[in-house]
């Protein structure tokens, strides 16, 4: 018997251990960028102190959409159909607006079959976090280009892609999306801060995460390989997340320029200037940054665009304060007297 | 000359978008208020303005509501169909026509009443002449047929509720038409309207409006829809009732409404609602159901309550968007890829439209499966006499949904897809509850909801789903039977055919054939249907489609020993069913089978 006392398990602000946020073992290829994102999700949810059962994990179909099985095992989830997770999430939200909807999708799921639903969820400013695990190829069907494959990029097999890609961040900014970020599965710190901020945002938060496919698209000629992204990432700013329940703890005030953005739940994301100061409220600046990166065959990451002023779907629906799920049956069904009155009105019209 | 009272059909040919609909509804309502059994069919084009429209008003003391075999009185306003409409008339028919149209009246074997409708209308209001023209012919018809001013004025007041200037304009236009007919014509046709004692107070109601109100009383919590003829008025009916019936003093609603980007999204949204524990529904037509197939399979396989109303129009493809048919039944019953089987409930009257409107949610939550309400354009968009709506006789059935922690903790061996009661229906917990969270999926799963490709798991799951839906059959709306004691021929029919069946029956009876009737109101087929078939030597399945879709389902599902005695009479040309066509086809079929 060892005399060593059991190591205290670290708890978060709601006294939950990190284990409460974990899921089942991953069945993705070893080294897959998606697994790193799953870990970031676990960390972000734990550190943000969100009750795990108050999260709804939503996904479509594809490698990325399988990942909800690998995190947040105490949350209900719905692995829906290809490209149509936004609509299912919208319907669930109408019934229970108090859950945190965390959608995970891929570039096939979001930029091809599901682009219409993505666009309309953004248009409604549906209150959710929407992560695109973007690797430029279809994985489960063994390595076809997706609609986000960069021009000139070549996957492991076949010709280089010459078709113009869809930049989901540019698209989202043009649609008036209220939170648009790009990150890299290899940039754990940045991604964690952005994801935590997205969880504190009310409205549609799109995080397009470059997440290399180690099996089909991690070769030297690929513009979405680990090495290429590491060498060609333009980081707009360092991002720190300061939760509302722990003001300024653990975060040192940087020496240079920084911008604090207050999120809906009172938390803050602090953006520390690296080179040129990027103003996330300036959509044209964000589009310019994306365009310049594309021309230079680089990937720009950071919080590209943010707008706290737009009403979200909740305001648009005009519902009672109580989530509809908790509205009692007798409030949902009008009384017999009312039907009698209606019958009388019809007869006397 | 002998008169013919309350037994004739008026056909009014106008152009779409000219305001003829409100004039025709005034005619219909005034006849209704005189106690005359009357029905109206709007045959409208897929167009906003300009294309031909016909409105068929059938007066029938027998209570027949189908369009009838022929036109007795033709109102001609539309130049585009003038020649065709005129040529189709039987000798002796009456023609009320607009002499300002400069179109020829080249039939001498009809009773002709020329009216300068446009001139009269212009004299009243040059600006609104087009609209007023329609009211002028209603005034003239009133004079020729004997419709009272009292009934007309009441109908006008009802049509233009509270709009004094519109009421005045229309009342004056009616007088212009009436006076012109009075001063210029001597009645030489036999058709008259006679008031009838009103025994049972009724009101006019469209099926879509009735379903809408039923859904409100069913506690709908999410309406997600995409506009499509002929279902839009169902969704808009719900939207119309919400402010009064489901909104609090602060203007906050207990029902969300989302106009989706397409039918796929509408289906996804109601699945999301059902998954979250709410009552979601959509209203669409065949093309929408085609688009929703993938989600329908997911709802079936992942066992998500969801309610779909299909107001059937003519397919395939875009088909005849403004005509009626019963051609979506097979698609609804077996929607989506893979082995599926869905609950379908089929109202035949506006009262049932209301009832099935609320009941659909109970059934869907009870069986945790999609439920389809099947209506059609004829039932949904035309006006039918309604006796009033009956309040739900049971509380809302929220099914085997566990909402309390102590109930959950008392359960043994819980698994989202485990059949604990032997009825194929598992228990479920809801997102956000913290109880037994799982990742719902459209992939194969075991009783705990965990991904599985194991042969035993898949086989057991598919068998349980089959048992579950089959187990619903005798808890769904039972067929309605009208049996002849000595009848050896049975007729099975469903939906809006209800409004033609009496006339078909009378035509058959006039030939000496008495048939029993069985109106199917749900799928999977109720055991009463099989019993009905067994009680008859021969059964005809009567449908408004080409292929006999219910007949096909029956043939596959009935025991082999009686399959041979079930025969199909299926016919559709886009029109609401005309009794004589179906009666003759029934007689032909009986003859063929008996040979």
Taking the domains of chain A in order of start, what are their residue ranges?
Answer: 18-317
Cβ-based contacts of B434 with chain A (< 8 Å): 51, 53, 74
Coil vs helix vs strand at A267: coil
Nearest CA in chain B to A338: B245
Cβ-based contacts of B437 with chain A (< 8 Å): 53, 73-77
Listed by number, the residues of chain B in 63-82 with a beta carbon closer than 8 Å to a beta carbon of chain A are none
Q: Which neighbouring-strand residues pair with A240?
A: A270
| CB-based contact A117 B265, cutoff 8 Å | yes
B476, two tokens: 């769904």
* Alpha-helical segments (H) within B95-252: 117-124, 129-145, 149-159, 164-184, 207-217, 232-245
Q: How far apart are CA B363 and CA B354, in angstroms?
A: 15
Instruction: Tell me which architecture the domain covering B205-386 has in CATH.
Output: 3-Layer(aba) Sandwich (3.40)
A261's CB contacts (< 8 A; 6+ apart) are A197, A268, A269, A270, A271, A280, A303, A306, A308
| CB-based contact A96 B432, cutoff 8 Å | yes
| CB-based contact A329 B219, cutoff 8 Å | yes
Q: How far apart are CA B443 and CA B440, in angstroms?
A: 9
Q: Which neighbouring-strand residues pair with B143?
A: none
Q: Which of A68, A91, A115, A119 to mutate to test the interface with B (most CBs of B within 10 A)?
A: A91
Listed by number, the residues of chain A in 45-74 with a beta carbon closer than 8 Å to a beta carbon of chain B are 51, 53-54, 56-57, 68-69, 73-74
Q: Which neighbouring-strand residues pair with A145?
A: A137
Nearest CA in chain A to B275: A92
| CB-based contact B294 A95, cutoff 8 Å | no
Q: How far apart are CA A135 and CA A117, in angstroms?
A: 20
**CATH placement of domain A18-317:** 3.40.50.970
Whether chain A has a CB inside 8 Å of the CB on B434: the answer is yes
Q: Which neighbouring-strand residues pair with A128?
A: A204
Of B261, B213, B203, which is closest to residue B237 (Cα–Cα)?
Answer: B213
- pTM for the model stands at 0.96
Q: Using CB atoms, pick whichever of B216, B261, B430 lies closest to residue A120.
A: B261
Q: Tell me: cis bond preceding B316? Omega within 30 of 0 counts.
A: yes
The whole-angstrom distance between B508's CA and the closest CA on chain A is 35
CA distances from B527 to A179, B370, B476, B477, B552 (A): 57, 21, 11, 11, 17
Domain B205-386 and domain B480-594 have a common topology: yes
Cβ-based contacts of B362 with chain A (< 8 Å): none
Q: How far apart are CA B10 and CA B71, in angstroms?
A: 6
Listed by number, the residues of chain A in 310-339 with a beta carbon closer than 8 Å to a beta carbon of chain B are 317-321, 324-325, 327, 329, 331-334, 336, 338-339
**CATH placement of domain B480-594:** 3.40.50.920
Listed by number, the residues of chain A in 116-155 with a beta carbon closer than 8 Å to a beta carbon of chain B are 116-117, 119-120, 124
Listed by number, the residues of chain B in 446-505 with a beta carbon closer than 8 Å to a beta carbon of chain A are 451
Whether chain A has a CB inside 8 Å of the CB on B151: the answer is no
Q: How far apart are CA B370 and CA B275, in angstroms?
A: 12
Each domain of chain B, given as residue ranges in start order, spans 4-192, 205-386, 400-477, 480-594
B31, two tokens: 């006849």
Q: How far apart are CA B385 and CA B36, in angstroms?
A: 11
Cβ-based contacts of B443 with chain A (< 8 Å): 79
Q: How far apart are CA B9 and CA B145, in angstroms?
A: 12
Residuewise pLDDT in 10s, chain B (595 residues): 799 999 999 999 998 888 899 999 999 999 999 999 999 999 988 888 888 999 999 999 999 999 888 999 999 999 999 999 999 999 999 999 999 999 999 999 999 999 999 999 999 999 998 889 999 999 999 999 999 999 999 999 999 988 999 999 999 999 999 999 999 999 999 999 999 998 889 999 999 999 999 999 999 999 999 999 999 999 999 999 999 999 999 999 999 999 999 999 999 999 999 999 999 999 999 999 999 999 999 999 999 999 999 999 999 999 999 999 999 999 999 999 999 999 999 999 999 999 999 999 999 999 999 999 999 999 999 999 999 999 999 999 999 999 999 999 999 999 999 999 999 999 999 999 999 999 999 999 999 999 999 999 999 999 999 999 999 999 999 999 998 777 799 999 999 999 999 999 999 999 999 999 999 999 999 999 999 999 999 999 999 999 999 999 999 999 999 999 999 999 999 999 999 999 999 999 999 998 8
Q: How far apart are CA B250 and CA B352, in angstroms?
A: 33
At A233, phi and psi to the nearest 5?
Answer: -85, 130
Q: What is the CATH T-level fold of the domain B4-192, as seen in this structure?
A: Pyruvate-ferredoxin Oxidoreductase; domain 3 (3.40.920)
Q: Which neighbouring-strand residues pair with B401?
A: B428
Coil vs helix vs strand at A138: strand
B470, two tokens: 């089959």
Q: Number of helices and strands (H, E) in chain B? A: 20, 24
CA B133 to chain centre: 31
Of A98, A217, A340, A249, which is closest to residue B276 (Cα–Cα)?
Answer: A98
CA distances from B535 to B84, B370, B483, B486 (A): 47, 33, 10, 11
Size of interface A-B (CB pairs under 8 A): 208
Query: What's chain A's average pLDDT?
Result: 94
């Amino acid at each position: 018997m060892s005399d060593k006392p059991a190591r205290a398990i670290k708890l978060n602000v709601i006294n939950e251990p990190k284990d409460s946020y974990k899921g089942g073992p991953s069945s993705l290829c070893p080294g897959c960028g998606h697994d790193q994102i799953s870990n970031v999700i676990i960390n972000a949810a734990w550190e943000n102190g969100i009750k795990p059962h108050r999260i709804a994990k939503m996904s479509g179909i594809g490698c990325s959409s399988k990942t909800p099985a690998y995190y947040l095992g105490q949350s209900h989830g719905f692995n829906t159909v290809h490209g149509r997770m936004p609509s299912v999430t919208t319907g669930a939200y109408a019934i229970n607006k108090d859950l945190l909807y965390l959608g995970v999708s891929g570039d096939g799921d979001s930029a091809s079959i599901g682009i219409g639903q993505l666009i309309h969820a953004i248009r409604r400013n549906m209150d959710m976090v929407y992560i695109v695990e973007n690797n430029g190829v279809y994985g489960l069907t063994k390595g076809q280009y997706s609609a986000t494959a960069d021009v000139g990029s070549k996957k492991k097999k076949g010709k280089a892609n010459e078709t113009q890609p869809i930049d989901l961040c540019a698209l989202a900014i043009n649609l008036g999306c209220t939170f648009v970020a790009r990150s890299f599965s290899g940039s754990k710190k940045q991604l964690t801060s952005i994801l935590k901020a997205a969880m504190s945002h009310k409205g549609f938060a799109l995080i397009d995460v470059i997440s290399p496919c180690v099996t089909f698209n991690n070769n030297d000629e690929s513009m979405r390989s680990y090495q290429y992204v590491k060498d060609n990432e333009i980081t707009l700013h360092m991002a720190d997340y300061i939760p509302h329940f722990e003001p300024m703890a653990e975060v040192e005030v940087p020496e240079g320029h920084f911008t604090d953005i207050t999120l809906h739940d009172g938390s803050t994301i602090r953006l520390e200037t690296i080179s040129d100061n990027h103003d996330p409220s300036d959509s044209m600046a964000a589009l310019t940054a994306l365009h310049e990166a594309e021309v230079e065959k680089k990937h720009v990451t950071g919080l590209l665009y943010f707008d706290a002023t737009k009403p979200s779907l909740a305001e648009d629906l005009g519902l009672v304060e109580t989530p509809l799920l908790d509205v009692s049956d007798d409030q949902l069904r009008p009384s017999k007297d009312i039907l009698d009155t209606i019958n009388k009105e019809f007869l006397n019209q | 000359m002998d008169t013919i009272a309350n037994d004739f059909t008026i056909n009014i040919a106008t152009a779409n978008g000219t305001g003829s609909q409100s004039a025709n509804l005034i005619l219909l309502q005034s006849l209704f208020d005189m106690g005359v059994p009357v029905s109206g069919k709007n045959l409208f084009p897929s167009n906003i303005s300009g294309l031909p429209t016909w409105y068929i008003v059938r007066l029938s003391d027998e209570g027949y509501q189908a369009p009838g075999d022929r036109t007795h009185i033709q109102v001609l306003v539309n130049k585009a169909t003038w020649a065709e409409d005129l040529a189709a008339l039987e000798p002796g028919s009456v023609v009320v026509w607009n002499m300002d149209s400069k179109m020829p009246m080249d039939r001498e074997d009809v009773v002709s009443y020329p009216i300068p409708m446009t001139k009269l209308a212009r004299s009243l209001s040059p600006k609104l002449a087009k609209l007023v023209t329609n009211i002028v012919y209603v005034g003239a018809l009133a004079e020729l047929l004997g419709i009272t001013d009292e009934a007309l004025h009441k109908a006008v007041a009802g049509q233009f509720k509270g709009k004094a200037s519109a009421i005045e304009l229309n009342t004056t236009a009616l007088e212009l038409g009436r006076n012109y007919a009075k001063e210029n014509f001597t009645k030489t046709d036999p058709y008259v309207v006679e008031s009838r004692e009103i025994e049972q107070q009724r009101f006019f109601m469209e099926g879509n409006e009735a379903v809408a109100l039923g859904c409100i009383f069913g506690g709908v919590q999410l309406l997600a829809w995409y506009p499509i003829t002929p279902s839009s008025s169902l969704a808009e009916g719900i939207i119309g009732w919400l402010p009064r019936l489901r909104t609090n003093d602060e203007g906050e609603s207990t029902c969300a409404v989302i106009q989706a980007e397409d039918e796929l999204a509408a289906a996804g949204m109601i699945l999301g609602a059902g998954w979250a524990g709410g009552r979601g529904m959509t209203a669409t037509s065949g093309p929408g159901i085609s688009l929703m197939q993938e989600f329908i399979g997911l709802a079936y396989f992942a066992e998500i309550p969801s309610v779909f109303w299909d107001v059937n129009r003519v397919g395939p493809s875009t088909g005849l968007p403004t005509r009626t048919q019963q051609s979506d039944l097979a698609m609804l019953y077996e929607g989506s890829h893979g082995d599926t089987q869905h609950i379908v409930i089929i109202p035949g009257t506006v009262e049932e439209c209301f009832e099935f409107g609320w009941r659909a949610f109970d059934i869907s939550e009870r069986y945790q499966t999609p439920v389809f309400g099947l209506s059609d354009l004829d039932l949904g968009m035309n006006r039918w006499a309604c006796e009033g709506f009956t309040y739900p006789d049971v509380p809302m059935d929220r099914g085997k949904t566990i909402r309390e922690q102590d109930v959950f903790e008392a359960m043994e061996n819980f698994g989202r897809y485990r059949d604990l009661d032997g009825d194929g229906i598992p228990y479920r917990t809801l997102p956000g509850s913290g109880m037994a969270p799982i990742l719902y999926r459209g992939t194969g799963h075991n009783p705990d909801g965990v991904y599985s490709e194991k042969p035993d798991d898949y086989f057991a799951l598919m068998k349980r789903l089959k048992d579950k839906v089959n187990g619903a059959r005798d808890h769904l709306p039972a067929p309605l039977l009208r049996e002849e004691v000595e009848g050896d021929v049975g007729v099975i029919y469903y939906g809006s055919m209800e409004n033609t069946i009496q006339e078909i029956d009378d035509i058959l009876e006039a030939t000496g054939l008495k048939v029993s009737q069985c109106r199917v109101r749900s799928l999977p087929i109720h055991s009463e249907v099989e019993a009905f078939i067994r009680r008859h030597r021969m059964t005809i399945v009567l449908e408004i489609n080409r292929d006999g879709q219910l007949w096909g389902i029956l043939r596959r599902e009935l025991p082999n020993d009686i399959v041979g005695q079930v025969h199909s009479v299926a016919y559709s040309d886009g029109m609401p069913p005309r009794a004589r066509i179906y009666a003759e086809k029934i007689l032909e079929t009986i003859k063929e089978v008996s040979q």
